[in-house]
Every structure is written in C-alpha cells, then in structure tokens.
Chains A and B, each alone.
Chain A
Amino acid sequence: QVQLQESGPGLVKPSGTLSLSCAVSGDSSSRCHWWGWVRQSPGKGLEWIGEISRGGHTNYNPSLRSRVTISVDESTNQFSLNLNSVTAADTAVYYCARVGCGYSFFDYWGQGILVTVSS
C-alpha cells in the first residue's frame, strides 16, 4: 500500500521560504509514476503546484513557477517543495500526491499539512 507523509514547518514568516518534504513508502514497483504537490485554501480551492519525475524532470504551475522548486531524492524515497517569497495568500493545506502512471491524475495522497504564513 502506497503511503505518503508530508512534513515541515507549520508557520512561515512573510517573504520567507516554505519548505516541505514528502516521504513515500510502499511504492517500489513501477518507475513511471511522477510525484506532485497540490494545495488547498478556502479562497482558491484545490490548486496544482507542480510535479516531478523520478529522474528529476519537473512541470510547474505558471502562476507559481517563478517561486517554486520541486526536487526528488530517490535514495531516501522523498521529494520536496520549496516556495519562496511567501505571503498570506500562500496559507493553505499542502498535499503531496502520487501521479497516475502515464497520466496526471492523483491516485494516492498524503494527509496534508497546514502551512500558515504569518509574522
């Protein structure tokens, strides 16, 4: 059973950098899956942030591209999200998720982590 678990600070100061990690377990089979980040805020609903392949290829939402970096560490089965220059508008629940094999829907999700941007 594939499991994902987000971790990181729950509070980030304005203009700072939001850094989250996602630990993946139970997924040792196919290499075709990508890994993604989605966030959810009351004001904007569900928003796709970006995705990364095991080989490190990335796709980002253009609305966030200038501030986002997603990276992967295959040796530790983790992938990470960095979002810089954060504002209150970046306050949201952040989910990591596995992307379906060959298709960009999300078949497994982490439980989510609330990140609040506030001084």
Chain B
Amino acid sequence: DIQMTQSPSTLSASVGDRVTMTCRASQYISTWLAWYQQKPGKAPKLLIYKASTLGSGVPSKFSGSGSGTEFTLTITSLQPDDFATYYCQQYDTYPWTFGQGTKVEVK
C-alpha cells in the first residue's frame, strides 16, 4: 500500500495567519491527490482534487500544489471556521489511502 505521511501532526496558528501543511507519498502518485477538511463529529469535506483543483464551492483561500511524492495545502487568512483537521488521500493506486491528518488549532 502507498503510505501517506502528513506533517506536522498539529499546527498552532492565529486568525489571519497563512498556514501550510505537507503530505508525502511513499511512492510516485503523479497528481492523484485529494485534500479534505474534517470538523469534530462531521464527515470529511472535499477541498481539493488532482493536487490543485478546488472542489465545488470551496473558497480560493485554499490552495494545493505538488506532484510526484510531495504535496502542500495552504490556507490564507485563517478564519475561525478553518480550525479543523485536514487529510490527504491518494487515488493513484489501489487501495486508496489517507494520511493521518494535520490538526490546525488555535495558538
């Protein structure tokens, strides 16, 4: 299976900050990567697919980049609603696998 490793596990930030988190794949996955946001007690919500394409209705404050094995998710001007856990998922090779998540918390 392809292992997805996210860093950091926890990111402390303040409202208005720009934050960046990383997802690394254990092997080449081209740009077959999605990012999700999950809030406590809720289902994940698609943010980005194909590494950099915004999901429907997702604000442009979210952006993704990368290809191959290293990917980043950036959130600009962090707002209270953005404090959540973010997961990456590869869909290059079965079985699809997820990272362990990056929790964005209030500093």
Q: What residues of chain A have their CB less than 8 Å away from a CB belonging to chain B?
A: 45-48, 59, 61-63, 95, 97, 100, 103-112
Check A48 against B98 for contact (C-beta < 8 Å): yes
Q: List 22 A-B contacts (CB under 8 A).
A: A45-B100, A46-B44, A46-B98, A59-B94, A61-B94, A62-B94, A95-B44, A97-B43, A103-B32, A103-B49, A103-B50, A103-B91, A104-B91, A105-B46, A106-B44, A107-B46, A107-B49, A109-B44, A109-B45, A110-B43, A111-B42, A112-B42
| Cα A46 to Cα B4 with chains together (Å) | 11
Instruction: Name the interface residues of B65-102: CB closer than 8 Å to any CB of A.
Output: 87, 89, 91, 94-101
Check A45 against B98 for contact (C-beta < 8 Å): yes
Check A109 against B100 for contact (C-beta < 8 Å): no
Known: A46-B87, A48-B97. A100 touches B43 (CB 8 A): no
Given A45-B98, A48-B96, A111-B42, list of 19 further CB < 8 A pairs? Answer: A45-B101, A46-B89, A46-B101, A47-B98, A48-B95, A59-B94, A61-B94, A61-B95, A63-B95, A95-B44, A100-B49, A103-B91, A104-B96, A105-B49, A106-B44, A106-B46, A107-B56, A108-B46, A112-B43
**8 closest cross-chain pairs (CB), A and B:** A105-B34, A109-B43, A46-B98, A104-B91, A61-B95, A48-B96, A105-B49, A107-B46
Q: What residues of chain B have their CB less than 8 Å away from a CB belonging to chain A?
A: 32, 34, 36, 42-46, 49-50, 55-56, 87, 89, 91, 94-101
| Cα A13 to Cα B45 with chains together (Å) | 31
List B contacts of A46 (CB < 8 A).
44, 87, 89, 98, 101
